[in-house]
Structure 1
Amino acid sequence: MKWLAKVLANRMKGVLAKVISKAQNAFVEGRQILGVVLIANEVIDSILKSNGGAILCKLDIEKAHDHVEWSFLLTIMEKMRFGEKWLKWIKWCLSKTSFSVLVNGTPSGFFQSSRGLRQGDPLSPYFFVIAMEALSCLLKRAVCGGFLSACQVRGREREGVEVSHLLFADDTLIFCEAHEEQMTFLCWLLMWFEAIFGLKVNLDKSELIPMDRVENVDDLAGELGCKVGRFPSTYLGMPLGASFNSMAAWDGIEERFRKRLAMWKQ
């Protein structure tokens, strides 16, 4: 099984950029973690300069790899036009996955399941971003249907670019207008995603951050069921919504570098 998983992972790596939207920046060739952080900060800066109040939703997905429904994953891959032979191989790799739980610190034996991705499997990262593409498609359709409003980012030549969401694996940012109707629809959208895909958003760890002045931010957070955050924040360990001229914004990153260097010196 291991050799087949490695072969499939190497083949899949080359086609992900064709089937995964540009909003996803994890495990896709040519896309980097720094890129998604820079884009997020550019969106925030553009909104603050335009004085157009909007909302940033930082979502935390609960035990992401454990809850992936295999049947749903295979359906998505079929929609992406993976061949019948490919799907058979993928299904075989998934069906051979077994799990074990610890009871009082002792493994209780292995059992089969119909969900979950195995940590350390070379295919698991690619399976996960394929599954998260379903959320990306739902958000894009919501914007096209007028249920959610993307944020406009102005370029140097005044040509606007719409950004509704950004992803790095399961680390999700959603940009929308500060309207209660949009929060209600977003709440329903996340419920649909959980029911179909099996992934649950941990609202206790998620937060709603107002961009510029938003008078009803507490009501919006209550509608979604999460807490209110504020800038400066962090995303993927990098500053979010902070002044990059401020030395304090980089204190945490500098400290992590110092600790990592100290480990290397040992």
Structure 2
Amino acid sequence: MLHQAVHEKRLRGVSICRRGPKISHLFFADDSIIFGRATESEGLEMLRILKVYEYSSGQQLNKQKTSLFFSRNTRGEIQNKIKIMLGAQVIKQHETYLGLPSFIGRSKTNSFAQLKTKVAHKLSGWKEKLLSAAGKEVLIKVVA
């Protein structure tokens, strides 16, 4: 349904550069990220698609876990309309998703410093000294 909505230009998705490909959604194991323009018509289309999904699958969208992100140049009144329409909260600057920062600015070092410190702390324990190189690799992957 998302592909069809993009194909019929009811949803436009986003691109990371001027002539780059458009991304309308990403699906993970039990999470979804849907990209679109901050317009009332695209908000209504997303809501329609989610309602059809809920009806056909028997699953419901958890509005307490649903978050919205708007670009800096989205007017406040449009943000409020879409927020009310979808019944979701707006993501704060310093929130995390799956342990990673929701926003990554120009400085990747600052964005991932906390994660790097956390991994280094876990690896500095006594168990790390007793592991082979392969064991250390597995430990790093598990911790990260």
What RMSD, in angstroms, separates the aligned Cα atoms of the two structures? 2.4
Separation (CA, whole Å) in 2 of partners of 1:140 and 1:202? 23
Flag structure 2 segments of 5+ consecutive residues without an equivalent: 131-144
Structure 2: distance between partners of 1:144 and 1:264: 53
1:22-171 mapped onto 2 (5 Å cutoff): 138-154=1-17, 159-171=19-31
Classify 1:145/1:263 alpha carbon distance in 2 versus 1 (closer, same or farther; 3 Å).
farther
Structure 2 equivalent of residue 212 of structure 1: 72
Listed one character per residue, the Cα deviations across residues 186-244 of structure 1 (whole Å, up to 9, x for unaligned) are 11211111111122221111111112311121221111010111445434332333225
Matches within 5 A, 1:163-182: 163-182=23-42
Stretches of structure 1 that go unaligned for 5 or more consecutive residues are 1-137
Q: Does 1:223 align with 2:85?
A: yes
Q: Which has the higher contact order (CA 8 A, sep 6+)?
A: 1
Amino acid at match of 2:98: L
SS of structure 2 residue aligned to 1:193: helix
Q: Between Structure 1 and Structure 2, which shows a larger proportion of strand residues?
A: 1
Q: Flag as ranges the 4+ runs of structure 1 deviating above 2 A.
A: 230-241, 262-266
TM-score of the two chains, using structure 2 as the length reference: 0.73
TM-score, normalized by length of structure 1?
0.42
Match of 2:58 among 198, 202, 222: 198
In structure 2, the CA distance between the partners of 1:246 and 1:189, relative to structure 1 (3 Å rule), is same
Picking from 96, 115, 121, the partner of 1:234 is 96
The AA in structure 2 aligned to 1:240 is S
Instruction: Work out whether residues 209 and 231 of structure 1, in 8 Å CA contact, stay in contact via their aligned partners in 2.
Output: no
**Residue in 2 aligned with 1:130?**
none
